[in-house]
Amino acid sequence: MTVISSADTASASLRRDFRREALDARPALPATAADTSLSVVFENVRKIYRSSSGPVHALHGIDLSIKHGSIFGIIGRSGAGKSSLLRTINRLEAPTSGRVLVEGQDVAALDAAGLIALRRRVGMVFQHFNLMSAKTAWSNIALPLVVSGAPKARIDERVGEVVALTGLEGKERAYPSRLSGGQKQRVGIARALVHRPDILLCDEATSALDPETTLSILRLLKDINRRFKITIVLITHEMSVIREICDSVLVLDSGRIAEVGPVWRVFGDPEHPATRALLEPLNRDIPADVAEQLRPQPDSGASSAVVELTYMSKSGLEPDPVAIAKAFGGPFRLLQSSLDRIEGHVYGRLLAVGPARLAGDVDPFARVADRARILGYVPADV
């Protein structure tokens, strides 16, 4: 599905123009000698909220770096601290202690002008769109430039560019009530891009969308990242979203880092119980008709072994039908697969049914998969 609908010449112009100096002569962040490969750095960040029932510890000593140009996902259960962490990047939330560095600059040290500059370089997309119902899509997108006092001609030019980028041609004069959920979110993305940000924050940007629309929005975000090298930091409770577009992922558990790393590694070999619990919905149960007939030992008659083969990405092993058949000692049938591939790494599991001569011995599969186990036995005709 194509999500960019501008002509080739317009697209080339957009790529050249996207990195031009901002229209409103926004103040620059102070220069530093920081590592230019990093967009965001968290240094021992803690956040405590005060409530009538006492202090609420939302974040506990977060140390983390996000690379420039990456798509970084933050995931965790409700109340894990995802939104609190994300909102420290543009100082919608101030850390109780610790530092947040954006392009080397401590955001807590910014004065009013510096904070304005920061928020123009850090766009934000919200879960529930946050559009003004009395304004058209065009006016909603233009609003940040209008507020900054940009000339009308340049506003019209820039809004036209992001409308083309986000596939909103023909919807410019529509009011939010006449837009679908996906179109509303595209307006939100266009509005966040209108100042040519270096970083784009996405706060549960797909949670209110159906699966098909979610996929189109994720493809749009990935295309924006690929074409313009904008760093994207997104929070979600959906592991499928992380799997679809992220390079790296942070798993938060009760305000603490449970696990962080490349998506292929975290998904392929999760180390923390919180990560495994979040990944569980991606795993499929044994088909009900097979589970009903599964026995711990082979019957006296003809039986087949049900073998689970797990691939954990970091070893580089991939399913090899010839090797699997050899390990079974005869022909096998594929019962179920939940394999996936991220950045050239295969992870997930296979359920295969083959000759029951294994008698509980999984050693033949030692070089076939990262982990193998016999789940039980079923009649040979299953």
pLDDT in tens, 38-86: 899 999 999 999 989 999 999 999 999 999 999 999 999 989 999 999 9
Q: What is the pLDDT of residue 5?
A: 40
Closest CA to 75 of 230, 310, 346, 261: 261
Distances (CA, A) of 372 to 102, 310, 360, 361: 45, 6, 11, 10
β-bridge pairing 105-106 and 97-102 = antiparallel
Q: What is the pLDDT of residue 332?
A: 92
Whether 356 and 307 have beta carbons less than 8 Å apart is answered as no
For the cut 60, the answer to whether the pLDDT of residue 305 exceeds it is: yes
Q: What is the pLDDT of residue 167?
A: 94
pLDDT in tens, 106-158: 999 999 999 999 999 999 998 888 899 999 999 999 999 999 999 999 999 99
Q: Which residue has the higher pLDDT, 7 or 84?
A: 84
CATH class of the domain defined by 288-379:
alpha beta
Q: Which residue has the higher pLDDT, 72 or 315?
A: 72
For the cut 90, the answer to whether the pLDDT of residue 316 exceeds it is: no
Q: What is the pLDDT of residue 11?
A: 44
Whether 311 and 267 have beta carbons less than 8 Å apart is answered as no
List of long-range contacts for 312-316, beta carbons under 8 Å, 24+ apart: 312/268, 312/269, 312/347, 312/370, 312/371, 313/264, 313/265, 313/267, 313/268, 313/269, 313/342, 313/345, 313/346, 313/347, 314/264, 314/265, 314/268, 314/269, 314/345, 315/370, 316/345
CA 222 to chain centre: 10
Closest CA to 265 of 210, 316, 328: 316
Averaged pLDDT, 27-45? 70
Q: What stretches of 22-111 show up as alpha helix (H) in DSSP?
A: 82-87
For the cut 70, the answer to whether the pLDDT of residue 288 exceeds it is: yes
For the cut 60, the answer to whether the pLDDT of residue 21 exceeds it is: no
How many residues in total does the chain contain? 382
β-bridge pairing 303-312 and 371-379 = antiparallel
One-letter amino acid for residue 331 of the chain: P
Q: What is the pLDDT of residue 35?
A: 64
Considering all CA atoms of the chain, what is the largest pairwise distance in Å, rounded to the nearest integer?
Answer: 85
Question: What percentage of the chain has pLDDT greater than the value 90?
Answer: 62
Whether 71 and 225 have beta carbons less than 8 Å apart is answered as yes
Q: What is the pLDDT of residue 10?
A: 43
pLDDT in tens, 224-258: 999 999 999 999 988 889 999 999 999 999 999 99
- Helices 8-18, 211-228: inter-axial angle, 10-degree rounding: 60
> Backbone phi, then psi, for 282, in 5-degree steps?
-80, -15
β-bridge pairing 105-106 and 256-262 = unpaired
Residue recorded with tokens 């179109």: 183
Beta pairing partners, 67: 38
Closest CA to 209 of 126, 266, 280: 126
Superfamily of domain 8-280: P-loop containing nucleotide triphosphate hydrolases (3.40.50.300)
Whether 342 and 243 have beta carbons less than 8 Å apart is answered as yes
β-bridge pairing 71-75 and 248-253 = parallel
pLDDT in tens, 146-189: 999 999 999 999 999 999 999 999 999 999 999 999 999 999 99
Show the tokens assigned to 83: 């939104």
Q: What is the pLDDT of residue 358?
A: 67
For the cut 80, the answer to whether the pLDDT of residue 201 exceeds it is: yes
> Backbone phi, then psi, for 297, in 5-degree steps?
-130, 150
> pTM to 2 decimals?
0.82
Whether 102 and 199 have beta carbons less than 8 Å apart is answered as yes
Collapsing DSSP to helix, strand or coil, 268 comes out as helix
Q: What is the sign, positive or negative, of the torsion defined by CA atoms of 104, 109, 114, 115?
A: positive
Q: What is the sign, positive or negative, of the torsion defined by CA atoms of 216, 169, 154, 151?
A: negative
Domain ranges of the chain: 8-280, 288-379
Q: What is the pLDDT of residue 360?
A: 66
